[in-house]
Amino acid sequence: MATLELSRPRRRHGFIAALGLAILAMAVAPLGAALASSPSPAAGSPSAATGGGVTLRIGTSQKWSTLNPFIALLIADYQITSVSYDLLVAIGPDLKPAPGLAESWTHSSDGLTWTFKIRQGATWQDGQPVTAADVAFTYNYIIDSFKYKDGSFGLSLFRDNMAGITSVKATDPQTVVLVTDKPSATILSAPVPILPEHIWKAVSYEAASGTAKDVKAFDNASMVGSGPFHLVQEVKDQYVRFEANKQFWGGAPKIDQLIIQYFPDAGPMVEALKNGQIDMIDQVPTTVFESLTNFPGVTTIKGAPIGFYQVGMNSWVPKAGQVKAHADQGSLGNPWLTKVAVRQALFHAIDKASIVKTALLGYALPGDSLLPPSVPGHWSPAADQAFDFDPAKTRSLLEALGFQDTDGNGILNVPADSKAFDPKGAGKDFVLRLYIRKNQPAELTAGQIMVEGFKQAGVSVDLQVVEESPFLANSTFPSATNADSDLYLWGWGGFGPDPDLVLGRVAESSQINAWQDANYSNPDYDAMYAQQHGQLDETQRTAIVQKMQELFYKEGSYAVLWYPYRLQAYRSDRWQGIKTLPADGGVIFTSLAYGQFQTFLTAEPKVAAAVPGASAGPGQSPAPTGGGGAGTIVLVGLVVLVVVVVGAALLYRRRSRPELGD
């Protein structure tokens, strides 16, 4: 009997285990089979095995907001439009004007009349020829739209580029003549995408708002440009896919496909680069830059800063003629931010040095004026002019304005007698909202440092994490939300070689309801802006530009926090022909976007990686190196798990045996 007793359970276990395995196999089989049979397209990026030909994959952590170049706002938007559309005058490898759709140009001796020769043989991606008429159409399209002053986000984005232009005409199919009423320093640096007339003439700024043909609502899903890549697919919030335009006038790209993939979090994006699922990252998180530099097969690039991040302070004072979205109310921002003295007090509560050290890990320069140090004409405050970090000074400056901590909770109260000025806040704690972008760890840290500084100064800041598009964009915008924001942390890139762009878009009055976000308005600033725009003498222009920076630093609505180094990375073990802009000491992805497509023309897989078969299968991705990091984790994790399970099992057995023994 004893043998029978012993053998029974053993047999049974075997049987049940076999059954279990069978069921398990049934469940997993389709998955496994599918995995095994697929060529694992995720790996081996440049491989031709994926059906789309040689594919270059770019990871980005910014979600694009539109494909329509006229409402493009974010750098991610320009990354898309800039590979599909051409400029009249391109940006050369040295950042100087270079032949684009115009192969040459001349101007009259008074600088008022410009003649552009449009190159022959350029075609739209739908096959139609590019002519001078298209160029004239594009410029006139934008200029005409200024007549429709509804103050909305739209073609007004290009207002500065068009300043002073009185007429644009195609005199023959290859010649465009552009006339200005005064000399303009920016004719050749206007980042205006040239549009096909035969498509865009049907899209109108006169169409009813929100309809398919309204320029502000037009989705441009079947984008037709004359650039090197043709948009073939957009999957919202995931990726956009381009096919190479082999007829491109500048020569066929060496790759067949270009894909820009959005990653909500930078952590997985970096992992995807290491695993070979993407080939390039346009913005490497500071936390991993150093380790990525040491990662075999990856080349990192650290470019000098050309953009900045700021905490904006909503300074909108509604004026007659400006659209108010909620007709019953004025600005929805905190009214105190419209006072220069309050903003100046708050400037002292921001610890830029800590932000650069802790949030940016040193991969940035502390900010002051609108132009980064590397840009010619940069102005820096003298030591006695600077708004040093000094929360006590913020407090005393605010107290001088009537703020008092009347309830003893450590937060200053808004003057009680300011009911007329601040009906909602009078007498209460001084509270400001601070918007920061979602999924941006460095900005979250910077926000936390600011909250801390403001707290020491007696100002309560409510940190809110928000989606960049459309939420943050809308909330700074008078015509959308009555500028429903107080403080917000945001950045600017997109600067060309010319300071005009940033000086105008950031702070010039006419850019309220267009590019501006803090809604700053100062006639002195505007006057200087117009002055420099018409000034062709470099020295004199620089003097004005510096004065503008000084004025905005002292009285403006930004605390420029930092100038970030541009940290980028790509798989140099798989790709060659990667170019930077400028060629010397530049980066792959300029925040300007236009001009950088040169690198996508010359990029090609390295020969070894392109060998058929070499890039098939998941095992092709580089061996896990990284100093045993991830391997250790797996090991430690397994050990921890085993210890915990065994420990729990022991405990469980000890107590349950008596009850379960029956």
Ranges within 598-627 binding other proteins (CB under 8 A): 617-621, 624, 626-627
Footprint of other proteins on 47-76 (CB under 8 A): 50-52, 55, 57
Tokens of 267: 């952590």
Q: Applying CB under 8 A, does 272 fall inside the site for other proteins?
A: yes
Part in contact with other proteins (CB under 8 A); list of ranges 68-76, 193-201, 284-292, 375-383: 284-292
Instruction: Check: CB of residue 389 under 8 Å from CB of residue 348.
Output: yes
Q: Applying CB under 8 A, does 632 fall inside the site for other proteins?
A: yes
In the list 146, 471, 531, 542, the residue contacting other proteins (rule: CB under 8 A) is 471
Part in contact with other proteins (CB under 8 A); list of ranges 113-121, 136-144, 421-429, 479-487: 479-487
Strands 102-107 and 113-118, sheet pairing? antiparallel
- Euclidean distance between CA atoms 446 and 429, whole angstroms: 23
* Closest by CA position to 519, among listed 333, 386, 270: 333
CB of 659 vs other proteins, minimal distance in Å: 6
Footprint of other proteins on 357-386 (CB under 8 A): 357-359, 361
Burial class for 226, CB neighbours closer than 10 Å (0-12, 13-18, 19+): buried
Instruction: Check: CB of residue 155 under 8 Å from CB of residue 141.
Output: yes
CB of 146 vs other proteins, minimal distance in Å: 22
Q: With the C-alpha atoms ordered 484, 486, 492, 498, is the resulting torsion angle positive or negative? A: positive
Q: Applying CB under 8 A, does 246 fall inside the site for other proteins?
A: no
Footprint of other proteins on 565-604 (CB under 8 A): none
Cβ proximity to other proteins, 381 vs 441, nearer residue = 441
Q: Applying CB under 8 A, does 441 fall inside the site for other proteins?
A: yes
How many chain residues touch other proteins (CB under 8 A)? 130
CB of 15 vs other proteins, minimal distance in Å: 5
Task: Give me the amino acid identity at 133.
Answer: A
* Residues in contact with other proteins, shown as a per-residue x/- string from 188 to 217 under the rule CB under 8 A: ---------------------xx------x
CB of 491 vs other proteins, minimal distance in Å: 18
Instruction: Check: CB of residue 183 under 8 Å from CB of residue 536.
Output: yes
* Closest by CA position to 267, among listed 247, 254, 281, 252: 281
Cβ proximity to other proteins, 420 vs 650, nearer residue = 650
Instruction: Compute how many other C-beta atoms are within 10 angstroms of the C-beta atom of residue 37.
Output: 8
Q: Applying CB under 8 A, does 268 fall inside the site for other proteins?
A: yes
Q: Applying CB under 8 A, does 472 fall inside the site for other proteins?
A: yes
Q: Applying CB under 8 A, does 652 fall inside the site for other proteins?
A: yes
Instruction: Check: CB of residue 491 under 8 Å from CB of residue 428.
Output: no
DSSP β-bridge partners for residue 649: none
DSSP β-bridge partners for residue 207: none
Task: Give me the amino acid identity at 583.
Answer: A
In the list 113, 261, 344, 460, the residue contacting other proteins (rule: CB under 8 A) is 261
- Euclidean distance between CA atoms 636 and 641, whole angstroms: 8
Packing angle between helix 391-400 and helix 441-457, nearest 10 degrees? 50
**Distant-in-sequence, close-in-space partners of 417: CB < 8 Å, separation ≥ 6:** 402, 426
In the list 326, 410, 416, 536, the residue contacting other proteins (rule: CB under 8 A) is 326
In the list 221, 252, 536, 649, the residue contacting other proteins (rule: CB under 8 A) is 649
CB of 563 vs other proteins, minimal distance in Å: 20
Part in contact with other proteins (CB under 8 A); list of ranges 176-184, 287-295, 406-414, 576-584: 287-295
**Distant-in-sequence, close-in-space partners of 143: CB < 8 Å, separation ≥ 6:** 162, 165, 168
In the list 6, 341, 527, 630, the residue contacting other proteins (rule: CB under 8 A) is 630
DSSP β-bridge partners for residue 438: none
H-state helical runs in 458-594: 473-475, 478-481, 500-507, 523-534, 538-555
Cβ proximity to other proteins, 16 vs 536, nearer residue = 16
Q: Applying CB under 8 A, does 648 fall inside the site for other proteins?
A: yes
- Euclidean distance between CA atoms 505 and 512, whole angstroms: 9
Distances (CA, A) of 49 to 189, 265, 603: 41, 28, 18
* Closest by CA position to 228, among listed 661, 631, 616, 601: 601
Tokens 């905490």 belong to 311
281 three-class SS: strand
CB of 103 vs other proteins, minimal distance in Å: 33
In the list 41, 318, 330, 534, the residue contacting other proteins (rule: CB under 8 A) is 41
Instruction: Compute how many other C-beta atoms are within 10 angstroms of the C-beta atom of residue 518.
Output: 27
Distances (CA, A) of 497 to 70, 562, 568, 600: 22, 19, 20, 21
Q: Applying CB under 8 A, does 34 fall inside the site for other proteins?
A: yes
- Euclidean distance between CA atoms 593 and 494, whole angstroms: 7
Tokens of 462: 């409510």
Part in contact with other proteins (CB under 8 A); list of ranges 109-117, 129-137, 307-315, 471-479: 471-479
Of all residues in the chain, what percent are helix, strand and coil, respectively (each to 5)?
35, 20, 45
Tokens 């706002």 belong to 73
Q: Applying CB under 8 A, does 330 fall inside the site for other proteins?
A: no
In the list 112, 431, 466, 610, the residue contacting other proteins (rule: CB under 8 A) is 466
Q: Applying CB under 8 A, does 265 fall inside the site for other proteins?
A: yes
Cβ proximity to other proteins, 282 vs 550, nearer residue = 282
CB of 56 vs other proteins, minimal distance in Å: 10
Cβ proximity to other proteins, 373 vs 470, nearer residue = 470
In the list 211, 222, 233, 409, the residue contacting other proteins (rule: CB under 8 A) is 233
Part in contact with other proteins (CB under 8 A); list of ranges 117-125, 157-165, 390-398, 642-650: 642-650
In the list 247, 448, 535, 602, the residue contacting other proteins (rule: CB under 8 A) is 448
Cβ proximity to other proteins, 608 vs 634, nearer residue = 634
Q: Applying CB under 8 A, does 474 fall inside the site for other proteins?
A: yes
Cβ proximity to other proteins, 59 vs 307, nearer residue = 59
DSSP β-bridge partners for residue 260: 58, 240
Footprint of other proteins on 399-438 (CB under 8 A): 438
Q: Applying CB under 8 A, does 644 fall inside the site for other proteins?
A: yes
Cβ proximity to other proteins, 177 vs 325, nearer residue = 325
Cβ proximity to other proteins, 141 vs 389, nearer residue = 389
Which one-letter DSSP state was computed for residue 611? Answer: S
In the list 28, 208, 341, 611, the residue contacting other proteins (rule: CB under 8 A) is 28
- Euclidean distance between CA atoms 212 and 218, whole angstroms: 5
Q: Applying CB under 8 A, does 485 fall inside the site for other proteins?
A: yes
Part in contact with other proteins (CB under 8 A); list of ranges 104-112, 133-141, 356-364, 365-373: 356-364
Task: Give me the amino acid identity at 261.
Answer: Q
Cβ proximity to other proteins, 217 vs 543, nearer residue = 217
Instruction: Check: CB of residue 325 under 8 Å from CB of residue 151.
Output: no
Q: Applying CB under 8 A, does 128 fall inside the site for other proteins?
A: no
In the list 6, 29, 35, 608, the residue contacting other proteins (rule: CB under 8 A) is 35
Tokens of 463: 């940190």
